[in-house]
Amino acid sequence: MKILVIDDDKMICIALKTIIESEDDMKVVASGYSYEDAVSLFEKHSPDICLFDIQIGEKNGIDAMKYIKNKNPNAKIIFLTTFLDENYIKDAINLGSQGYILKDDFESICPAIRAVNAGQVVFGSKVIENIGHIKDMTANNSKNTSNSRNFDSLSSRELQILELISQGLNNKEISDKIFLSEGTIRNYISSMLEKLNLRDRTQLAIFYINSDK
C-alpha cells in the first residue's frame, strides 16, 4: 500500500513513517506539511491511502480532502488529529472521509489503514462517542431524506447489524459476534443501503445514531 502522510509537524511525519513502514505491506511514498503539499503530492503519487492532520495551515486538511475528493471521488482519506471537535468530525463525514482517529490512539493507525484499504470506514473509540452528539448532519443526512427513512423495512437481523455498525465494528468483528459469514454481513449491509437510500456504512451509522432508536 502506498501511503501519503500530511502533518504540519515534521517530527510527527517522521514518527508516522516509522510506525507505518514497520508493516511489510505499507510504504510512505511522500510526506508533506501543508494544504499545497497534500494536493500536489496526491496528484504526483496517487496513494492508496491518505493520512491527514486537520490543522495544516490557513487551508486545513478538510479543505484538502474537499479538493481531492472533487477530482478523485474514490480517494481514501483518514484524518489523524488531536481535534475531537464536532464540526470537524461532521465535515469529515459529510465530505466522505473513510476514517477519523486521534493521535493518542497510535496503535490503531496501521489497523485503520488496512481496514480502510479493504473498504471499511474507521472511527476511533472517542470519536464514536462524540458522534452521538452530532445531530445536524446536513450534507448527506438532510431532513428531507431522513423523514422518508424509517426502520419499518428492516428485519430484526438487519437492525442488529446496523447497531453494531454504529458502534464502529467492521464486517469481520460483526461476523464473529453474531456467527454469520462476512459475505452474509456484506449482503445485509447492501440490502440496508438500498432500503434506506444511503451510500455507505458511515451514513448507516449516522442514520442509526441520529434516529433516537
pLDDT digits (tens, 9 = 90+) for 66-112: 999 999 989 999 999 988 887 888 888 888 888 899 988 888 899 89
> Which CATH number does 2-126 carry?
3.40.50.2300
> Which CATH number does 156-210 carry?
1.10.10.10
- Which of the listed ranges 122-136, 153-167, 195-209 does the model predict with the highest average pLDDT? 153-167
Q: What is the pLDDT of residue 108?
A: 85
Whether the pLDDT of residue 195 is over 50: the answer is yes
Q: Are 140 and 203 in contact (CB under 8 A)?
A: yes
**Domain ranges within the chain, ordered by starting residue:** 2-126, 156-210
Q: What is the pLDDT of residue 197?
A: 84
Band of pLDDT at residue 140, cut at 50, 70 and 90: very low
Q: Which residues, 6+ apart, have CB-to-CB distance to 119 below 8 Å?
A: none
What is the model's pTM?
A: 0.66
Band of pLDDT at residue 152, cut at 50, 70 and 90: confident
Q: What is the pLDDT of residue 212?
A: 55
